[in-house]
Amino acid sequence: MKQSKHYMPTPKEIPLVTLSKKAEQETYPKGRYTKMTGEDHITPVVEKVYGKEKNPIHPEKSERLIQWKEVVENPKLLEDFVGQFTDYELARISVCAKNGWGMEAKGEAGMLYVSEKYNTPEFVVADGNNGVNLRIENIGFPTSVTVCATFNEELAYKTGATIAEEAKEHEINEILAPAINLHRNPLCGRAAEYFSEDPLLAGRMGGQQSRGLEEHGVVSCMKHLLANNCESSRLRNNSIMDERTLRELYLKTFEEAFQVQIPSTVMTAYNAVNSVYCAESEDMLQGIFVEELGFDGFVMTDWTSSDTCDIVNAMAAGNGWITPGGMDDTQTMQLVEGIQNGRIDRKRLEKSVYRMMKVILKFY
């Protein structure tokens, strides 16, 4: 872990009042809710570029197309494999192809776009903090908060391991879990998936579940980055906090989990933190998770985040997979245009796709 820097600053134009028992009248919330200020779309307060992206792709390009089968046989070809993709092909694979939520399907949350040109593999993800969330018979495990109440890390590990075994039986490559946000609001609709109100306990137990999944051959996805604790207007909620709150509560959970298991993937939250949508936060994705915590996998948005966040900003910030996407080219062409007009550095997109394919190759 590298030395911390100041990331995700509090917006200067929004006055911040920190809760204090010593000043209840002055600091405790009044009324039923606080209306978020600003326009419907939250624009970044601070724009940062984390240096020049080191392009992992070799500049030389062969006229002969490298196929996925060759990469499986020789993983050193992965850089050249991704480097031969056109702008469109990079963008297309960065958008989830489809899901299995229709009446005829079994309930998969998302599937990677399969390129016939390169014979890329199928890669299927499913929800499943407490089991494999499909529309077929499967084991229902106790909720995460129940498992967490045992304070038994071995049990959390075995839960992940058993879910992984069942996932493989149903041809699921990745489980979108563990969800390790804190219990900060009793009205949060995802509370049953989350582990605890304590960052240390939630991090340790969630990390063990992630380790159980990955050591038994299934990709894990820690979520939701960050401070996803409100169900009302969750697609546009704005969490304003000072750096101490950010570091000692919300980030602490993931920091502890990463000490147990650095997951292969992470998922960004719907909400904003300090007026920047999490899906668009380069400070969070590149500054904190990559530079500080050592994350080297790929990032995905939460499903339908694109209803509020800007997917071009998200990809430029280091998000790697837009979900739930679709087989039409609507979102794909937005990313292509983003590359062509300079809003997305092609090297950043190459690196995201490279990391995605590296994860798939590891668990292939």
Amino acid identity for residue 286 in this structure: Q
Distance CA 207, CA 204 (A): 5
Backbone angles phi, psi at 36, to 5 degrees: -70, 135
62-70 LR contacts (CB < 8 Å, sep 24+): 65/117, 65/118, 66/118, 67/118, 67/119, 68/118, 68/119, 68/120, 68/121, 69/119
Catalytic, 345? Answer: no
The residue with tokens 């010593």 is 22
Q: What distances in angstroms separate CA 63 from CA 60, 90, 114, 347, one per listed residue?
A: 10, 18, 22, 20
Query: Of residues 127, 283, 302, 310, which has the active-site annotation?
Result: 302
- Which of 258, 255, 262, 265 minimizes the C-alpha distance to 323? 265
Distance CA 205, CA 211 (A): 10
Task: Give 253-273 as a DSSP string.
Answer: HHHHHHHH---SEEEE-SSEE
Q: What distances in angstroms separate CA 127 from CA 8, 28, 133, one per listed residue?
A: 29, 36, 5
Q: What angle do CA 172, 178, 180 make, to 5 degrees?
A: 160
Active-site residues: which are they?
A: 302
